[in-house]
Structure 1
């Protein structure tokens, strides 16, 4: 399954076009490497997705072409969630 489709179907990102844009910006790592939207994901892969000031690390547990909201929970396991601290502004702005 394509990376951008997985991000949308798993509801990590709401829209496939947004998932595509995020991947193209280099904010998604697949097994530690930058991934294009067309990258193929499989069960067991680890994704790092950067959302603004936080990074979410998940492991893919199940693939499905479409899912209901209730079934999304089994598609991935959250391994780590980190909030990055804002860099201090030396000028106090």
Structure 2
């Protein structure tokens, strides 16, 4: 009656692919990110229903992270992380930029004093601000 289906579909909705590739925890979060303009498909805007195909390039923004990935495989089901990582390949430029941003955040965090200021430190801060 029906022919056996292939292991990979020809195209998958963008929100479903982002969820299956584990970029977002739920499909509705993937949809919200796409609607919010955080995802571009092939250097153009994207809608949740836009079909993703093998070879497409996605630019994804998650918080401070910016990822540029090439689609290597398609899936409509969310599987283990090892399977999800096989669905895409991150570009070298994207990896380098993320590592540089990570190092920058680490430096900024190292310069900040640990924890909340105590009473003496608050008085010093107040004196410093008043003198400016």
TM-score, normalised with respect to structure 1: 0.83
Runs of 5+ in structure 2 lacking a partner? 1-11, 105-132
Distance in 2 between the 1:65 and 1:21 partners? 18
CA shift at 1:55, angstroms?
0.6
Aligned pair in 2 of structure 1 residues 4, 46: CA closer, same or farther (>3 Å)?
A: same
Higher share of residues assigned strand: 1
CA distance in 2: counterparts of 1:35 and 1:73, whole angstroms: 22
Aligned to 1:6: 17
Q: Which has the higher helix share?
A: 2
**Once the 2 structures are TM-superposed, how far is the Cα of residue 51 of structure 1 from its aligned partner?**
1.1
Structure 1 consecutive aligned stretches of length 4 or more whose deviation exceeds 4 Å: none
- The CA distance in 1 between the partners of 2:24 and 2:42, in whole Å, is 18
Q: Matched residues in 1 for 2:31 and 2:86: separation?
A: 23
Q: CA deviation at 1:65?
A: 2.1
Structure 1 56/41 Cα, relative in aligned 2: closer, same or farther at 3 Å?
A: same
Length-normalised TM-score, structure 2: 0.60
- Verify: 1:40 aligned to 2:51, yes or no: yes
Larger Rg: 2
Q: Which residue of 1 aligns with 2:122?
A: none
- Is 1:31 equivalent to 2:49 in the alignment? no
Match of 1:89 in 2: none
